[in-house]
Chain A
Amino acid sequence: MSLPSDVRPSVPVDRAAVKRPPIPVKILVSGGFGVGKTTTVGALSEIEPLSTEAAMTSASVGVDYAGEGSQKTTTTVAMDFGRVTIDDSIILYMFGTPGQDRFGFMWNDLADGALGGIVLVDPSRIDDCFVALDYFEKIGLPFVLAVNSFAGRSQLTLEQVRSAANVDPAVPVVALDARSREDVKRAVLTLLQLILSRAKAA
């Protein structure tokens, strides 16, 4: 289905006097339920995040546990995404991807063509991100582990989170506040640096 070239013109070259749209770059934002994926996407997006989101009902009580003290009453059951225009010819899309096992059937479509991922971790529920970690490791997608510190509520250091999540030493672990544009930007830059070093090594 995919052709070898980087960017596939959709019309034959002899008619391609037409201006092509910018190159899309896709980054996934994954993690457990209620960990702040949508907030993270929204923090950097130039548009209000768009979604095919359907509100979860009380039916999910006990299925999707948003943790002690969470006021969360809806969750993303499809996907939501934000957009960041990099320049005339590159648009970055951040796709929030549902982190639960039962949405696994969507992941191949989401991951196909993705440059990398940010796995969000709630330090009080570290195991919630394991499904996402397993998946990213399995398909070899570069990712950073971003600890959503929930405004300092976390008692764990980044190293403790790293060892609890048992990720490869090469995986960067960063702290962020999902609401902070600067924090999210830094996490994205950390991911891009990781991708860059991998590209240089190749």
Chain B
Amino acid sequence: MNPDAFEEFEEFDEFDRPFLGAGAPAPAPAHAAPAHSTAPAVAQGEDGEEEREEVRAYLLTGGRTGGGTAGIAMETTAVLTPQGEQAVASGSLSFEPGLVLEVCAQARSVAEVAALVGIPLGVAQVLVGDLVGRELLITTSTAKSLAFDVSFIERLINGVAAL
């Protein structure tokens, strides 16, 4: 077996199981992690970065996957509720849930949250679902019936035409 083929296999293996792999190199978080007073384990700086790499995705989600029950899709948008704003201001949430809240200071899709925080999409779905459950985030999802909503599509066409 040639070594190239093996490399290829490894790559797909990692991709097929994003929750179990050590994770593709996460895109650099869009903003440096702000102070997390309650997060001694994830220290600031390079050491902290390395430590975070070792946190398996299933630990972040308690082994859960997907946004299923909460209906959290990759395009679902999320934004802070007033309680969420308070939680960010007081820094009461640390680690990934805290980072998710911070990027949701403006409305974002779950896919954006995943990319900006540097976590797999499935993890972002679970964490956003949790934060919705705690009323720190509020979300909007689409439904198939929008495709048959003439006035909505017209609004969309006018919006794109005006770009």
B72 — nearest CB in chain A belongs to which residue? A10
Q: How far is the CA of A109 from the CA of B74 in the complex (A)?
A: 8
Known: A8-B71, A23-B146. A92 touches B8 (CB 8 A): no
Interface mask (A71-86 → B, CB under 8 Å = 1, otherwise 0): 0000001110101101
B60 at the interface (CB under 8 A from A): no
Q: Is the CB of A54 within 8 A of B140?
A: no
B93 at the interface (CB under 8 A from A): no
Q: How far is the CA of A195 from the CA of B149 in the complex (A)?
A: 10
Q: How far is the CA of A23 from the CA of B159 in the complex (A)?
A: 14
Q: What's the nearest-Cβ distance from chain B to residue A7, in Å? A: 6
Looking at the complex, which one of A4, A7, A51 makes contact with B142 (CB distance below 8 Å)? A7
* B-chain residues with CB within 8 Å of residue A1 when the two chains form the complex: 68-69, 71
Q: How many residues of A contact B (CB 8 A)?
A: 67
Looking at the complex, which one of B5, B68, B75, B157 makes contact with A196 (CB distance below 8 Å)? B157
Q: How far is the CA of A44 from the CA of B163 in the complex (A)?
A: 9
- Grouping DSSP codes into helix (H, G, I), strand (E, B) and loop, the B interface class, with mixed when no group exceeds half, is helix
B112 at the interface (CB under 8 A from A): yes
Q: Which of B32-40, B46-54, B113-121 contacts A (4 or more CB under 8 A)?
A: B113-121
Q: Is the CB of B135 within 8 A of A11?
A: yes
Q: Is the CB of B111 within 8 A of A87?
A: no
Q: Is the CB of A10 within 8 A of B159?
A: no
B78 — nearest CB in chain A belongs to which residue? A21
Known: A24-B76, A196-B153, A196-B154. A113 touches B111 (CB 8 A): no
Given A3-B71, A24-B77, A93-B109, output 20 extra A-B contacts at Cβ < 8 Å.
A9-B138, A10-B137, A21-B140, A44-B163, A50-B116, A57-B8, A61-B4, A77-B11, A86-B156, A93-B75, A113-B73, A115-B146, A116-B147, A188-B160, A189-B157, A189-B160, A189-B161, A195-B147, A195-B153, A202-B148
